[in-house]
């Protein structure tokens, strides 16, 4: 028996269980989703990086003990059952709604009485959308993150989640929980929006949902704090000499993403068959916009692809973001910048070195901004970046103030 992550290179992944029976292998989800950087592969347990690691580990231990007891009972009593019957028994054991247990470390054997209906319906809703193939993989991931937030909230509050309790009091309490756990209004708003979509669908199915959920507001800051790298900063990162393989791989991914404009989720899914060395393009189906794009392979990208025999180096999104910050720090990108974020009704302004704001989104934004500096028309860039709407595309444009001033001055002065 083994627990493992089904998507170890993504930001988050479902924990799967692998069980052998009669020379056949059963691999199925435990229903638990975890951040990939919070998983200890050798111990097959969650680490302290996961906010609800105690509950997750208790669930995994409970699953393991029940599966072992189930298999032992079959052997001791010499019960000869079919593989389908065995599978049914295992699935009943790992039903996540039967495994919600007390988070206190000294009470891991005590079960919390959380009703399965609401969370079970949420899981069913996610799976239904997944198999429809109408939603991008990144969208399904966000659904699971929202599910985890709701599940964690219900355990922390010792509160039963039901459709009837989706009222203003729950909304205020859940938003406060999200803010207290470090989510700004933009991020919290994503979970509220997903929750409302789920509740509307449940209402259409005939569930008795509290009508107050329609008044839930997903607040969003009009201008999220984002930055782009200047040409000098890009050059500084390209000139960094990595001190280990981890940073070398990150630097190579930085070059590929900067030139191709891929979202990191798409970048990590590019395979050799997507790369056309004759036409010097990468042809790839973008899940988010559900369209196929052709991206040109530049000289620098070709050098990186040849280095890895046309296989994209793999790394989780979280580790990629962490490593990018380290590379930017090594490149001396330490100009102080302001991050203004809203949590609840409170606006927080944080001043930090620019390398701390470095992320895969900034790399993509920097690539788009860099092409605009080189006078490439927006419509042409959108064909490569995969953007459908100019309004969304414009959010990725981040010119330095001095660049804008110089451009306007030169236009009038004929410079």
* Range among 27-31, 47-51, 348-352, 379-383 rated most confident: 379-383
Tell me what pLDDT residue 414 has.
61
List the structure tokens of 399: 């010119």
Euclidean distance between CA atoms 91 and 99, whole angstroms: 12
Would the CA dihedral through 135, 138, 140, 146 be positive or negative? negative
What are the pLDDT digits (tens) for 284-301? 988 777 788 899 999 999
List the structure tokens of 155: 């355990």
Tell me what pLDDT residue 106 has.
37
- Cα separation values, 403 from 216, 245, 285, 399, 410, Å: 41, 36, 35, 6, 10
* Non-local CB neighbours of 142 within 8 Å, separated by 6+ positions: 190, 194
Euclidean distance between CA atoms 108 and 53, whole angstroms: 12
Tell me what pLDDT residue 400 has.
57
What sections of 222-294 are H helices per DSSP? 231-238, 245-260, 264-267
What are the pLDDT digits (tens) for 147-167? 989 988 888 888 878 999 999
Domain 118-215 classification at class level: mainly alpha
Residue 96 reports pLDDT greater than 50? no
The yes/no answer on whether domain 231-413 falls in CATH 1.10.443.10 is yes
What residue has token string 């070398």? Answer: 248
What are the pLDDT digits (tens) for 164-182? 999 999 999 999 999 888 8
Residue 329 reports pLDDT greater than 80? yes
Q: Phi/psi of residue 351, each to 5°?
A: -105, 125
Tell me what pLDDT residue 394 has.
67
Give the domain ranges of the chain. 2-94, 118-215, 231-413
The larger pLDDT score, comparing residue 347 to residue 283, is at 283
Q: How far is CA 34 from the centre of its chain?
A: 10
């Amino acid at each position: 028996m083994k627990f493992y992550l089904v998507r170890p290179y993504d930001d988050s992944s479902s924990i799967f269980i692998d069980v052998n029976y009669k020379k056949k292998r059963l691999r199925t989800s435990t229903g638990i989703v975890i951040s990939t950087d919070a998983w200890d592969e050798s111990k097959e347990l969650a680490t302290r990086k996961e906010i609800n690691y105690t509950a997750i580990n208790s669930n995994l231990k409970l699953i393991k003990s029940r599966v072992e007891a189930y298999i032992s009972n079959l052997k001791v009593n010499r019960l000869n059952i079919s593989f389908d019957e065995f599978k049914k028994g295992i699935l009943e054991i790992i039903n996540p709604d039967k495994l919600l247990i007390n988070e206190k470390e000294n009470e891991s054997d005590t079960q919390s009485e959380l009703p399965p209906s609401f969370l079970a319906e949420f899981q069913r809703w996610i799976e239904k959308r997944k198999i429809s193939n109408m939603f991008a993989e990144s969208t399904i991931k966000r659904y699971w993150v929202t599910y985890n937030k709701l599940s964690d909230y219900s355990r922390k509050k010792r509160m039963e989640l039901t459709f009837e309790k989706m009222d203003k009091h729950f909304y205020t309490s859940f938003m406060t929980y999200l803010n207290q756990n470090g989510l700004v209004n933009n991020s919290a708003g994503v979970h509220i929006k997903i929750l409302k979509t789920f509740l509307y669908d449940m209402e259409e199915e005939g569930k008795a949902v509290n009508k107050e959920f329609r008044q839930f507001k997903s607040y969003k800051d009009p201008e999220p704090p984002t930055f782009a790298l200047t040409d000098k900063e890009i050059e500084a990162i390209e000139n960094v000499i990595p001190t280990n393989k981890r940073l070398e791989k990150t630097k190579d991914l930085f070059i590929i993403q900067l030139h191709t404009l891929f979202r990191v989720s798409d970048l990590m899914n590019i395979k050799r068959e997507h790369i056309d060395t004759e036409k010097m393009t990468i042809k790839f189906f973008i899940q988010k916009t559900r369209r196929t794009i052709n991206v040109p392979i530049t000289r620098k990208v070709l050098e990186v692809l040849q280095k890895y025999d046309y296989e994209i180096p793999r790394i989780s999104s979280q580790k990629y973001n962490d490593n990018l910050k380290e590379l930017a720090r090594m490149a001396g990108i330490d100009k102080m910048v302001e991050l203004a974020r809203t949590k609840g009704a409170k606006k927080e302004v944080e001043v930090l070195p620019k390398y701390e704001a470095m992320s895969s989104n900034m790399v993509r934004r920097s690539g788009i901004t860099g092409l605009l500096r080189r006078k490439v028309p927006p419509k042409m860039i959108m064909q490569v970046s995969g953007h459908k709407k100019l309004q969304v595309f414009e959010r990725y444009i981040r010119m330095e103030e001095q660049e804008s001033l110089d451009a306007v001055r030169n236009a009038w002065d004929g410079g």
